[in-house]
């Protein structure tokens, strides 16, 4: 590893459409290759020919361009078997959304199949040779199946974090630092910390208790991957009448087929056994008479959640409990800022109470700093962030911090 060249195809200075090209000696690697899932999506720069493509996890901002990549070139994809399953479902779903909304998409069903077959599954803690260095995968604590990648030889080592979480959640164990010389660190929560998890969970339950006791329904918008299972586990012992609608059930089944990625298969099974699943329009009406509805999509930009809100939007006793950060331009953001939602293009006022609970799957600012310290790197490359300055400020006390721009080559 004499000479390491790197550049971001996207996702350097923003959250979304991530792609990193790493050139180490004579080998060229691609780490993640995603889209920004806006409508229509925005795409990273084209990837050069690479020897191996590495995928940290299934979220579309990291994975969304892989079916396009396999159409353009024949590099193998290394990721977990679980990420392979989940990303395939997300690709098919995003293709469906593109068709429904009438914009062109850079790949088709055959490319999705090819992306699936191109995967050579790698397990957490597995080591694999690449030329005269080796690659090791570590669990990232972000969503089930998520990885960090270490690339090393006897003289130097690089760690690519992907998206990480360092705290234990109901669903997952937090990740641990890995000693390295060069750390590529995500900075989603640069400058922002999360509330303490236990008290957040308590507040969430208490809020629902209050809504239900006054005769309202709690609508809880969730992402199908990870958040719906996490919230089902938080509610597991609450005794509420909980319904789940949307893709969450299907994703839950896949998680249970791969229990080694979970903190506790038993606890997830138990939580899901206490949930009723909406599988037809009749059950949707039953769910409206229940107490809690977990439903996609997490940012209210589609999915069954709009149906429920449309039914309950004039009921001030009912509430919408957002469970994750709402990106600018989404319905969720509009609800928080203006108290309204666009239903299929028409903006409508929502009289329900609105709450925001920060059940993030990303490490907060302080946790990122702790993690980076534990890795004791000489250099830290910050990416995947809207504002890297606050994090850079705290990291420069113990490492050289690099803040690359998309498309600009830097050497390490
Ligand atoms: Zn992610």
Given a contact cutoff of 8 angstroms between Cβ atoms, the answer to whether 338 and 175 are in contact is no
215 Cα–ligand 1 center, Å: 36
On whether both 158 and 81 belong to a single domain, the answer is yes
43 Cα–ligand 1 center, Å: 16
- Which of 356, 377, 399 is the C-terminal boundary of a domain? 356
226 Cα–ligand 1 center, Å: 10
Q: 214-238 in b/e burial notation, b at 16+ Cβ within 10 A?
A: eebbbbbbbbbbbbbbbbbbbbbeb
On whether both 214 and 133 belong to a single domain, the answer is no
Report which of 106, 98, 41 is spatially closest to residue 69, judged by C-alpha positions.
Answer: 106
On whether both 281 and 323 belong to a single domain, the answer is yes
391 Cα–ligand 1 center, Å: 19
* 3-state secondary structure at position 411: strand
Cα separation values, 167 from 54, 140, 172, 193, 241, Å: 24, 11, 9, 12, 29
58 Cα–ligand 1 center, Å: 7
149 Cα–ligand 1 center, Å: 15
User: Distance between CA atoms of 295 and 300, rounded to whole angstroms?
Assistant: 9
On whether both 348 and 365 belong to a single domain, the answer is no
375 Cα–ligand 1 center, Å: 21
In whole angstroms, what separates CA 253 from the centre of its chain? Answer: 18
User: Distance between CA atoms of 9 and 1, rounded to whole angstroms?
Assistant: 22
On whether both 177 and 244 belong to a single domain, the answer is no
On whether both 221 and 96 belong to a single domain, the answer is no
DSSP readout, 90-155? HHHHHHHHHHHHT---S--HHHHHHHHHTEEE--TT-EEEETTEEEEEEE-SSSTT-EEEEEE-SS
On whether both 247 and 266 belong to a single domain, the answer is yes
- Which of 337, 356, 375 is the C-terminal boundary of a domain? 356
Range of the domain at 288: 197-356
Domain count, the chain: 2
Task: At 184, list the tokens.
Answer: 């590529």
On whether both 155 and 102 belong to a single domain, the answer is yes
280 Cα–ligand 1 center, Å: 30
Q: What is the pTM assigned to this prediction?
A: 0.96
- Which of 320, 337, 356 is the C-terminal boundary of a domain? 356
* 3-state secondary structure at position 355: strand
On whether both 135 and 182 belong to a single domain, the answer is yes
Q: What is the mean pLDDT of the chain?
A: 96
Which CATH number do you get for residue 347? 3.40.50.10890
On whether both 10 and 135 belong to a single domain, the answer is yes
What pLDDT, on a 0 to 100 scale, did the predictor assign at position 182? 98
Which CATH number do you get for residue 394? 3.60.15.10
On whether both 342 and 283 belong to a single domain, the answer is yes
338 Cα–ligand 1 center, Å: 27
On whether both 330 and 378 belong to a single domain, the answer is no
What pLDDT, on a 0 to 100 scale, did the predictor assign at position 397? 96
113 Cα–ligand 1 center, Å: 22
pLDDT in tens, the chain (412 residues): 678 999 999 999 888 999 999 999 899 999 999 999 777 899 999 999 999 999 999 999 999 999 999 999 999 999 999 999 999 999 999 999 899 889 999 999 999 999 999 999 999 999 999 988 999 999 999 999 999 999 999 899 999 999 999 999 999 999 999 999 999 999 999 999 999 999 999 999 999 999 999 999 999 999 999 999 999 999 999 999 999 999 999 999 999 999 999 999 999 999 999 999 999 999 999 999 999 999 999 999 889 999 999 999 999 999 999 999 888 888 999 999 999 999 878 999 999 999 999 999 999 999 999 999 999 999 999 999 989 999 999 999 999 999 999 999 999 9
Alpha carbons within 13 angstroms on the beta-carbon side of residue 311 total 16
Residue the block writes with tokens 């990122």: 368
């Amino acid at each position: 590893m004499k000479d390491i060249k790197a550049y971001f195809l996207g996702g350097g200075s923003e959250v979304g459409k991530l792609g990193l090209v790493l050139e180490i000696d004579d080998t060229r690697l691609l780490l993640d290759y995603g889209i920004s899932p806006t409508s229509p999506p925005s795409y990273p720069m084209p990837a050069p020919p690479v020897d191996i493509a590495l995928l940290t996890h299934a979220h579309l901002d990291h994975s969304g361009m892989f079916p396009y990549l396999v159409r353009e070139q024949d590099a193998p994809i290394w990721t977990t078997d679980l990420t392979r399953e989940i990303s395939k479902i997300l690709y098919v779903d995003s293709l469906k959304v593109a068709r429904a909304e009438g914009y062109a998409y850079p790949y088709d069903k055959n490319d999705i199949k090819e992306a699936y077959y191109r995967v050579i599954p790698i397990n957490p803690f597995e080591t694999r040779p690449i030329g005269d260095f080796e690659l090791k995968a570590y669990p990232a604590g972000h969503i089930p199946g998520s990885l960090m990648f270490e690339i090393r030889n006897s003289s130097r080592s690089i760690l690519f974090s992907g998206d990480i979480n360092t705290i234990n959640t109901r669903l997952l164990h937090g990740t641990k630092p890995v000693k390295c010389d060069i750390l590529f660190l995500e900075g989603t929560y640069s400058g922002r910390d999360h509330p303490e998890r236990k008290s957040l969970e308590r507040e969430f339950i208490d809020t629902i208790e209050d809504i239900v006791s006054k005769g309202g329904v709690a609508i809880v918008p969730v992402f199908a991957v990870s958040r719906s299972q996490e919230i089902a586990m938080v509610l597991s012992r609450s005794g509420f009448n909980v319904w789940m609608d949307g893709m969450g059930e299907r994703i839950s089944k896949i998680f249970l087929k791969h229990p080694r990625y979970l903190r506790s298969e038993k606890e997830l099974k138990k939580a899901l056994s206490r949930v009723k699943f909406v599988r037809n329009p009749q059950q949707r009406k039953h769910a409206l008479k229940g107490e809690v509805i977990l439903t996609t999509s997490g940012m209210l930009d589609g999915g069954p959640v709009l149906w429920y809100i449309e039914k309950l939007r004039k009921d001030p006793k009912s509430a919408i409990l957002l469970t994750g950060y709402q990106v600018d331009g989404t319905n969720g953001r509009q609800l928080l800022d203006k108290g309204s939602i666009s239903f299929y293009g028409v903006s409508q006022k929502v009289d329900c109470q609105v709450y925001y609970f920060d059940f993030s799957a990303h490490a907060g600012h302080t946790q990122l700093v702790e993690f980076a310290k534990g890795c004791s790197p000489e250099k830290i490359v910050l990416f995947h962030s809207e504002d890297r300055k606050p994090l850079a400020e705290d990291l420069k006390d113990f490492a050289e911090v690099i803040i690359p721009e998309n498309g600009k080559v830097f050497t390490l």
